[in-house]
Structure 1
Amino acid sequence: MEIAGEKIFPIGLGTWHMGDDVDKRIQELTALQVGLAQTNSTEKIAIDTAEMYGEGNSEKLVGRALHTIARENVYLISKVYPWNASKRQLPRSLEESLKRLQTDYLDLYLLHWTGEFPLAETVSALQAAKKSGYIKNWGVSNFDVADMQELWQVPDGQNCVVNEVLYNLGSRGIEFDLLPWMKKQQVPLIAYSPIAQGDRLGNQFLSDDLLQRIASDHFVSVFQLLLAWAIRDEKTLAIPQSSNKDHVLANLAAAKIQLSHQEWQEIAARYPAPTKKQPLAVL
């Protein structure tokens, strides 16, 4: 998939909840390093973090992981709190994120969700950061259709290159209106929680006989099948989080899964697309 002309491997590395537990940091660091090592000459591996994650602990962990790979081979994403998204505070938050990440630029900087500051002010601050070279591009997260439409009316708002929202087989609400709007405007999707945090969001994917059968037929896990489903349009970046290096490798391998048209149809029949507007799902 592509974001603003950059070719990105369709499955990246999420880091929410990582970096907080001292006893897990070596395991988490290893998992990230193993994932980043899978980058190739044509597609960068994306790693997604935020100043919110552990109040900077995740960014510090990512910064350590970046030591093992050439910076230009990584697609680095971070996010700013809405209450830090003013013309005055955003540069400060960005500077602190860059320090924690031990890098001098971000490939992508996102407004984490809508806030009280006018979008015009936030966009102006993001544009200034881009002009300065501290970020290559910017986007948004947790924006619904109305939010995106408002953004498109703001000066330079159409320079937004991506929207990151919750999307998985059990949360298809964006397919009714948000995703069609984004595709029309050629705004790629970053899907967080693409495997619905296992079954912790109330789904029963692991015990679903249909998903089990299809996964078995392709010699993959149900989790890998869920990832393949999330990126099926080839315009989506999925960012599953894992602190286990073997799971990270399995996640990345899911990009190679190819289902038949009939198998896609069977899954769609079991988990149908929305037929009416739904509130934007947020975690």
Structure 2
Amino acid sequence: MTSRLIASAIHSTVKLNDGVVMPLFGLGVYQVENNCADLVAAAIDTGYKLIDTAEFYHNEEGVGSGLKQSGKKREDIFIVSKWFPSAEGAKGALKALDHCLKGLQSNYVDLYLLHAPQGGHCAEAYRALLDAKKQGKIRSLGVSNFGVSHLEALAKLGLDKPSVNQIELHPWQQKNDIVKYCREHDITVMGYSPLAKGHKVQDKTVGEIAKKLSKTPAQVLIRWSVQHGFITIPKTSQASRLQSNADVFDWSIPEEDMKTLNALGEKPWSCTWDPTNNSLKEAGLQ
């Protein structure tokens, strides 16, 4: 069982079930294209050790350029990318992986995820990516947007346990059943959209807690994710916000206020797609 590990600093890490050590905090770059390289370089200069990209984001090249621009060694920065599962199955996954490595200007990616349980060939692709891991192209293999049924299906197929499951997580979308299953089966939970894509920064409850703590609403939402022990990747397209988004480690949200924020999940709301309930047939996990 995975215990909840709360990051105490921007460089805090967690050991995944395959032994790979991963930062608990980083930058998400969804919808960051024109200034991706500059933003990634600025994030690394600020102290960020983790960058989260994806084939679907069309900015793996920007991440690679930003890393090069930063002057940091490749092994000092942990990069996550994802393959968008399609009917191409294993062939598509391996093609996307090679494109990813080319864009990153690297011979490996630290963590590679199946972006969602879709495309009809996830099991086939997962096996192919496990082979790529053995070849050194992938350090750690995980999944994203997988529900409990999908994780159980991987286990029933006798496939290696994913190291990470990345899912939408914020006070209005807590996915407690998935989080519970992952922690019981030593799968590290990584949350995306901790800021709910900005839709809730004006929320009255969050605002009141932020005022009480002399923090911004964004910092409260990011701290909520950190305090739950999730790998947290707030996205911003503005370098000016990198530091404030990372100023969430020398304070905490009081227990009573955490309970108030947790109660917001009683009426679940999602800021994005939610494929966690896709059928096993749609995923190709039967």
Aligned to 2:261: 267
Contact residue 89 and residue 120 of structure 2 kept, 8 A: yes
Aligned to 2:45: 37
Amino acid of the residue matched to residue 12 of structure 1? G
Partner of 1:120, secondary structure, is: helix
- Going from structure 1 to structure 2, the CA distance change for 1:85 and 1:256 (only over 3 Å counts) comes to farther
Aligned to 1:189: 189
Matches within 5 A, 1:17-96: 17-19=31-33, 21=34, 25=35, 28-39=36-47, 45-54=49-58, 58-67=59-68, 68=70, 69-83=72-86, 86-96=89-99
Contact residue 13 and residue 240 of structure 1 kept, 8 A: yes
Contact residue 85 and residue 121 of structure 2 kept, 8 A: no
Aligned to 2:4: none
Specify which of 111, 114, 117 is matched with residue 111 of structure 1: 114
Specify which of 198, 206, 215 is matched with residue 202 of structure 2: 206
What's the TM-score once normalised by structure 2's chain length?
Answer: 0.82
Question: Whole-Å Cα distance in 2 between the matches of residues 15 and 226 of structure 1?
Answer: 18
Q: CA deviation at 1:97?
A: 0.9
Question: Whole-Å Cα distance in 2 between the matches of residues 253 and 132 of structure 1?
Answer: 38
Question: Whole-Å Cα distance in 1 between the matches of residues 206 and 94 of structure 2?
Answer: 46
Listed one character per residue, the Cα deviations across residues 95-150 of structure 1 (whole Å, up to 9, x for unaligned) are 11111111110000111112344443122111111110001011111111111111
Question: Whole-Å Cα distance in 1 between the matches of residues 246 and 154 of structure 2?
Answer: 33
Aligned to 1:238: 232
Question: Whole-Å Cα distance in 2 between the matches of residues 85 and 137 of structure 1?
Answer: 22
Contact residue 168 and residue 193 of structure 1 kept, 8 A: yes
Partner of 1:109, secondary structure, is: strand
Question: Whole-Å Cα distance in 2 between the matches of residues 214 and 18 of structure 1?
Answer: 30
Listed one character per residue, the Cα deviations across residues 13-43 of structure 1 (whole Å, up to 9, x for unaligned) are 1111111x4xxx2xx433221211244xxxx
- Going from structure 1 to structure 2, the CA distance change for 1:242 and 1:85 (only over 3 Å counts) comes to farther
Task: Percent identity, please.
Answer: 25
Listed one character per residue, the Cα deviations across residues 184-206 of structure 1 (whole Å, up to 9, x for unaligned) are 0021111111110111xxx4x42
What's the TM-score once normalised by structure 1's chain length?
Answer: 0.82
Specify which of 149, 156, 160 is matched with residue 152 of structure 2: 149
Contact residue 25 and residue 232 of structure 2 kept, 8 A: yes
Where structure 1 has 5 or more consecutive residues not aligned to the other structure, the ranges are none
Where structure 2 has 5 or more consecutive residues not aligned to the other structure, the ranges are 1-12, 277-286
Contact residue 26 and residue 233 of structure 2 kept, 8 A: yes
Contact residue 77 and residue 106 of structure 1 kept, 8 A: yes
Question: Whole-Å Cα distance in 1 between the matches of residues 55 and 114 of structure 2?
Answer: 11
| Corresponding position: 1:102 with 2:102 | no
Listed one character per residue, the Cα deviations across residues 56-100 of structure 1 (whole Å, up to 9, x for unaligned) are xx1111011111121111111111121176333322221111111
- Going from structure 1 to structure 2, the CA distance change for 1:92 and 1:227 (only over 3 Å counts) comes to same
Contact residue 222 and residue 245 of structure 2 kept, 8 A: yes
Superposed CA RMSD in Å reads 2.3
Q: CA deviation at 1:7?
A: 4.3
- Going from structure 1 to structure 2, the CA distance change for 1:79 and 1:262 (only over 3 Å counts) comes to same
Amino acid of the residue matched to residue 34 of structure 1? A
